[in-house]
Amino acid sequence: MRMQSNWFLQILLIILVLISTLPFTPSRATDDQINFTELDYIDAVGAYDVWIEDNFAYVTCGYQGMKIFDISNSSDIKEVSTIVQGGNWFAHQIFVKNNIAYIGNGRGGLKVMDLSNPEVPVVLADYQGDEMYSWAVKVIDDVAFVSNGYLGDEAGFVILNVSDPSNPEIIGKYDAEGDATDIEVIGDYVYITTYNAGFDIVDVSNYSNPVLVGQYQGVNDTSAGGTDIEIVGNLAYLISYDNEPKILDISDPTNISVVSSGFPPTDRQFSIKIVGDLAYVAAMEDGLYVFNVSNPQSPVQVGNYTESVGPVYRMVIIDDLIYVTYQGMGLRILKINRESESTTVLTPGLGLATVLMGFIFVITLKRSNFRKKKAQ
């Protein structure tokens, strides 16, 4: 019996030694933090929106029209041309497709331009419709969807056939309750924000007869107004100029619900871009915010850029570069830097698990042998 006891203690001692040499395996929880490095600043008075295409930056500049910059050499950016505005027109958002630019041009309606030669852009059309005030444009195939509002009789959006860019023709119209600011088009649905009457989802499978299929207005009209929207899957990211932004569940357009609200912690926001799990928010005087929205119910701030020359308006993100317009000032080019913050947690490793299994096996085998001897 004494020999059996010593043998058991020896095995236990060996196990304790092995445990001391193979204690734990470190596991790391990583959170990416975002910061920015300024690469360049382009003076463009009246800067509102920007589009990047083939080493050129097309910057809409409100009452100043549009400026085109050659950005092929980041250390020597050059202005190559300027499109002067007419009347009291105001260049808002821009959409470029096949070297044709479509600009929501305020009271000027829809401006269409040929950009085949950026040094000599050619105006193809100024479609004004019936007292239009145009903000945003999206072009799908040969159809342009133009949001309208703010003193315009055609509040909501118009649908134009632009197969001949020099001669846009209206093929449909949707009247919204408020002044439509931003517009997104996905499949047969048009999503529009209205500054003072919420967010609409419209079925445009029949261009001549758009049908409202969903609407979010919040508690009252003013609490739900928006200036910009991004659609990602079944989520709508709604940004408001003077109210808290919201993430909405739109999986059922007839029953839109709030997933989360109240980010970022600022008074005013103007636009938003979603890249993967990150949401970039232009927060006017408070600069640029970045949130991790992998859990849309609880967005986490991971970055903020506040070195501003004016209120942040709109942006374009390409790879690790972000092009940001500042109200009335110009275009800033920033490099996106990602830094990982890791937290090490010690967890039982494979060596420890193997030793423990071996210990259980030895004890089980010892008991089995003991029972056999007892049975004999």
Quote the pLDDT of residue 153.
Answer: 55
Quote the pLDDT of residue 254.
Answer: 93
Residue 326 has which token pair?
């500042």
- Could you tell me which residues come within 8 angstroms of residue 77 by beta carbon, excluding any fewer than 6 positions away? 40, 42, 57, 69, 70, 71
Amino acid identity, position 104: G
Quote the pLDDT of residue 225.
Answer: 61
Quote the pLDDT of residue 113.
Answer: 97
Quote the pLDDT of residue 105.
Answer: 94
- CB 264 within 8 Å of CB 250: no
The per-residue pLDDT string of the chain (376 residues; one tens digit each, 9 = 90 and over) reads 444 545 554 554 455 445 444 454 444 444 579 999 999 888 888 899 999 999 999 999 999 999 999 999 877 889 999 998 877 899 999 999 999 999 999 999 999 999 999 999 999 999 988 778 999 999 999 999 999 876 555 578 999 999 999 999 999 999 887 788 899 999 999 999 887 667 899 999 999 999 999 998 864 444 456 789 999 999 999 988 777 788 999 999 999 999 998 877 777 788 999 999 999 999 888 889 999 999 999 999 999 998 766 788 999 999 999 999 987 689 999 999 988 754 444 444 444 444 444 444 445 445 555 444 444 5
**CA neighbor of 340 nearest in space, from 78, 40, 134, 31:** 31
**CA neighbor of 156 nearest in space, from 187, 199, 127, 125:** 199
- Whole-Å CA distances, 189 to 212, 236, 245: 10, 13, 22
Quote the pLDDT of residue 45.
Answer: 87
Whole-angstrom distance, CA of residue 189 vs CA of residue 185: 6
- Looking at domain 29-344, its CATH superfamily turns out to be YVTN repeat-like/Quinoprotein amine dehydrogenase (2.130.10.10)
Quote the pLDDT of residue 143.
Answer: 98
